[in-house]
Structure 1
């Protein structure tokens, strides 16, 4: 059987087995790559060539730095100080959390750690202020998703590399703008659904007197500034800069190295790297052409963006956007652009947005973290029944996907300049 077709089947098998058995899709992909190598007598160097060392450095370096900064309490204190700015205007807390989520994600760590940090802050703050915690956590995480394609994030590095492999510029800023607009529209719909302007006035939470930043936290903020300036204006490698700044903070006693290393999301990094190895075989064997041909049969120039957006969203219900959806679908963009006459960057944008904003289902990490955070609150089962919350989180995912599909169909992302 054709190697390209077999490798595609094995990628699908890795995704299905990973979901069904709760296995890491990346590790399964490496195993299947080895199997293909034995059966089809592939050169080992060709298999290993799918492992991107530059991408690995970027992902590990930036997540290492933010594990240090998060570990010394800098991000949590910064978040609480930002929320405190609303004063008596507690109905604005959800949108402060949106802005906070955007900032925390965009300055470097990306969505994976940020999606875990924001609900931890948002839910207790919302409850103490009399604001719906589910709404606040969802809107905060939509802010996180908006910042995902910042030039400083590991996710942006993945997408840039995938774009450059197809001859595109690799500029993710227009994609970030499109993602932000989509997330804002969804956030407004969520706010309206939960009637976010209605605040429980019977709740009289005491205003927490926040401490000042200590020396180590100021050093951490300075480190963030160095990272941003170096990467954005001096063309420094984000990953290497993360290692440099992180090492300086460790030497100065602003973090614990063992805790930082253990906090790096190794499972996600292995997923991205592993799928990349199998995707390299798919690419070399003509599997991408097979995928493009299959997609062409159900797409037209008018519907291509919408169908791709929905496909990415549905895939992300069951698998990682970063680890599976992006490396699987983005390589088809240039081929579809050439055959259907659609804009390749716009296709990449809808894949990224679809693989991001639909990730609120309870079977996803984001949805599960929100459910867990709400369940920990007092009288949670009475106030926020888990069955209802389960349905609501699925509804948020479908609403986000519907907004994306509509925007893609009417050409909103083309107007933005993607």
Structure 2
């Protein structure tokens, strides 16, 4: 009874958040309190203790550091240089948009920030160059998603945090997270290439030309920010890679044990402030507080679900009714359907990741395959106009007519194409592993 109540609460929180435009996390916190304290007899302190403090700290610390690159214009300048470099090769423009979005997101800007900045530029380029809006939308959306999945960027960090909370060792979580990043870069490149080389819009783009003004060089603050960002990414990546390459080395084992991306990002934030690369108040204001509340609030409700046995019950049902070979595909389909209306970071992965280890152990599957299938499926339909990514792209259209034309393309072409590509990838992944 309690398990069904928790599932209903998750659904209601998502629906209420979507309909009222109030942060889903706030509804989730309220439901966690009501169900935990009055339905399960938990103490208020126990419910408060379900707030995912480690995930909150890591996301806050990393986003604070990367906020300096946002407020001082480093990311914007990098995007300008990348797009300018494509001016003589217009058929490569979708790849330039994809790479620019991926790079900016990979440097920590996060999915929503990249879309808010890159989507208006992309749609403007579509008007000037003849690139179809659906191709531009796919390139910028996929690029923002894939880049943000990098192991040291916002989504990648969230995925690792959710995995470790679900019981995955830190070293394995790093590998699984990197596999997610690679997978969500491969699928978009296949889809974009299919559009560029086999569609009418792609053939028309090859004959197009466009003018782009020479971007100004990076200033002192932007160069310093770029070097700090590259240094932090190198440190975060080097420790686990060296430990995996030399597992018997006590030195690398000790260094890797002392590495924590949240603490490293905090250290680099102090360096950024001492080097005066940006304003502290503006950087603090640029932290995605709404995303933090959503992820941690839903995390509290998921913790209540785990305490009530809901996750184990769902895992047992899947294990008893679905053949092992179909489990990754089923996870991808469920994630894709949820992502049509809800956030991958705030709802889909917090709800599905805790089910992976029990099902993988019960059915003899590789947990990595399930983690990848969930994210690939979820992000395949994130371009739906009802989802956050699609709605941001629609909002970037300059005219009502443009929005009216783009809406059915996102819903009836982009989302289905992404869904089919993701499911084919999940099938291949299942047989490969």
Does 2:53 match 1:53?
yes
1:195 — aligned with what? 201
Q: Is contact 1:142–1:187 with CA below 8 Å preserved after alignment?
A: no
Deviations 1:14-46, CA, capped at 9 Å, x for gaps: 122222322222111111111123313202332
The partner residue of 2:185 within 180, 199, 217 is: 180
> 1:203-282, aligned counterparts within 5 Å?
205-234=210-239, 235=256, 236-282=259-305
- Residues 145 and 357, structure 1, Cα contact 8 Å, conserved in 2: no
- The corresponding residue for 2:5 is 6
**How much does 1:391 deviate?**
0.9
Partner of 2:15: 16
Question: Which residue of the partner structure matches residue 351 of structure 1?
Answer: 374
Q: 1:288 to 1:194 in 2, by over 3 A?
A: farther
CA distance in 1 between counterparts of 2:214 and 2:92 reads 20
Q: CA–CA distance in 1 between the matches of 2:121 and 2:211? A: 16
CA contact (8 A) 1:97 1:143 kept: yes
Closer, same or farther in 2 for the Cα pair 1:90/1:328, shift >3 Å? same
1:334 aligns with 2:357: yes
Give distance in 2, aligned partners of 1:321 and 1:31: 21
CA drift of 1:334 comes to 1.6
Q: Which residue of 2 aligns with 1:65?
A: 65
Shift of 1:121: 3.1
Residues 1:290 and 1:70: Cα distance change in structure 2 (over 3 Å): same
**Secondary structure of the structure 2 residue equivalent to 1:161:** helix
**8 Å Cα contact 1:75/1:104 also seen in 2:** yes
**CA displacement, residues 53-89 of structure 1 (integer Å, 9 cap, x when unaligned):** 2211211122222222112111111111111222411
State the alpha-carbon separation in 2 of the partners of residues 55 and 173 from structure 1: 18
Deviation at 1:166, TM superposition (A): 3.0
**Number of the residue aligned with 1:88:** 88
Cα deviation per residue 1:387-414 (whole Å; 9 max; x = unaligned)? 33111111211211111122223x3355
Alpha-carbon RMSD:
2.3
Matched-pair contact (CA < 8 Å) for 1:123–1:134: no
CA offset at residue 146 of structure 1? 2.0
User: In the alignment, is residue 408 of structure 1 matched against residue 426 of structure 2?
Assistant: yes
CA shift at 1:283, angstroms? 0.9
Aligned with residue 407 of structure 2, among 387, 390, 393 = 390
Shift in CA distance, 27/110, structure 1 to aligned 2, threshold 3 Å: same
C-alpha separation in 2, matches of 1:238 and 1:12: 32
1 CA distance for matches of 2:262 and 2:125? 33
The answer to which structure has the higher helix fraction is: 2
Deviation sequence 1:278-324 (CA, Å, 0-9, x none): 11111122111122134345521122111110100110111110010
Normalising to structure 1: TM-score of the pair? 0.90
The CA deviation at 1:144 is: 2.1
Shift of 1:220: 1.0
Distance 1:371 1:11 in 2: 27
Provide the C-alpha distance between the structure 2 equivalents of 1:365 and 1:93, rounded to a whole number of angstroms: 24
**Secondary structure of the residue that 1:226 maps to in structure 2?**
helix
Following the alignment from structure 2 to structure 1, what is the Cα–Cα distance between the partners of residues 417 and 343? 19
Runs of 4+ displaced beyond 6 Å: none
Alpha-carbon distance between aligned partners in 1 of 2:168 and 2:210, rounded to the nearest angstrom: 55
Aligned partners of 1:62 and 1:109 also within 8 Å:
no
Hey, what does 1:364 align to over in structure 2? 387
User: Per-residue CA shift, 1:225-259, capped at 9, x if unaligned?
Assistant: 12112211245432333333233333433222222
Determine the structure 2 residue equivalent to 1:375: 398
Distance 1:72 1:87 in 2: 25
